[in-house]
Amino acid sequence: MNRLLGQAGRYLVAGGLGTLAHLGLMTLCVESLGMRPVAGAVVGFAAAVGVSYALNHYWTFQSSRSPVQSFWRFLLVSILGLLMNTGMMFGLVHYLGWWYLKAQLSVILIVPATNFLLNRYWSFSSRAE
């Protein structure tokens, strides 16, 4: 249980840093580059993948799985998260009329919990687990 809580805490820190990268780049894309909010969210999400992978592989989960193998698994989990993120952003912005940052902050409450479980038990688990 202590290991799970430690990983969850480190995952939150890594996710927070990835989220800052995501929100910062998304805001830059929308406000300075004139991109549409959903497209900006996709760009921000892609940047967050790189930050999050490195922190999660080497620090959060201290994975013994090959970095190449864990990256592809992490990438698949991230793509699932991207699909969830994009779909929810689209619905909240275009159907409910939410401001894009409010929508993204709401999505951030759901996607990371799903990704933590998938990454812990699949992407970064040792082959023996």
DSSP codes joined into one string, 21-86: HHHHHHHIIIIIT---HHHHHHHHHHHHHHHHHHHIIIIIS---S-HHHHHHHHHHHHHHHHHHHH
Name every residue whose Cβ is closer than 8 Å to that of residue 112 and which is 6 or more positions away in sequence: 11, 15, 19, 81
Which pTM value belongs to this model?
A: 0.70
pLDDT tens digit at each of 129 positions of the chain = 788 899 999 999 998 898 899 999 999 999 999 999 999 998 998 888 889 999 999 999 999 999 999 999 999 998 998 899 999 999 999 999 999 999 999 998 888 888 999 999 999 997 644
For residue 128, give the DSSP letter. T
Q: Could you tell me which of 120, 111, 30 has the C-alpha nearest to residue 74?
A: 120
pLDDT of residue 129: 47
pLDDT of residue 126: 78
Q: Could you tell me which of 112, 50, 106 has the C-alpha nearest to residue 80?
A: 112
Residue 119 has a CB neighbour count (10 Å cut-off) of 27
The amino acid at residue 79 is I
